[in-house]
Homo-oligomer: A and B are copies of this chain.
Amino acid sequence: MTELERLREQLRDFAAARDWNQFHSPKNLAMALSAEAGELLEIFQWLTEEQSRSLTPEAQAAASDEIADVLLYLIRLSDRLGIDPIAAAKRKIAANAEKYPVDKARGTSRKYTEL
């Protein structure tokens, strides 16, 4: 079993033991994931990009915490939808390699539709 699968199992047990499946619809889990992404944003909102590259210990710990929350909801949402997030990510990297060929995308942040 991979690391993500182990976390998926733990989250399943966690929810089942607390009778939380009733709350864990994909709709609700997408909301929870997005709310945690918002907490991640809050850590960075007043920092310069430079400051965000070398966080204070407090901000680093907070970022680690919010990254964990996003990941846990992502695993849980994927489980409830029957989606394999690793396989989806691999497909996406392959698609991005086609959309952003090295020679066109080098050094620019433009969207692939504008390359």
CB of A96 within 8 A of CB of B14, answer yes
Residue in contact with A23 in the complex, picked from B28, B75, B81, B109, CB distance below 8 Å:
B109
Compute how far the CA of A108 lies from the CA of B2 in the bound complex, rounded to whole angstroms.
Answer: 31
Counted per complex, copies of this chain come to 4
Which A residues are closer than 8 A to B by beta carbons? 2-4, 7, 10-11, 14, 17-20, 22-23, 25-28, 30-50, 52-53, 55, 60, 63-65, 67-72, 74-75, 77-78, 80-81, 83, 85-86, 88-93, 96-97, 100, 102, 105-107, 109
Write out the residue numbers on chain B whose beta carbons fall within 8 Å of the beta carbon of A46.
23, 28, 32, 109
Task: For A30, list chain B residues within 8 Å (CB).
Answer: 37, 40-41, 43-44, 52
B residues near A74, Cβ cutoff 8 Å: 67, 70-71, 74
Which residues of chain B come closer than 8 Å to A50, judged between CB atoms?
25
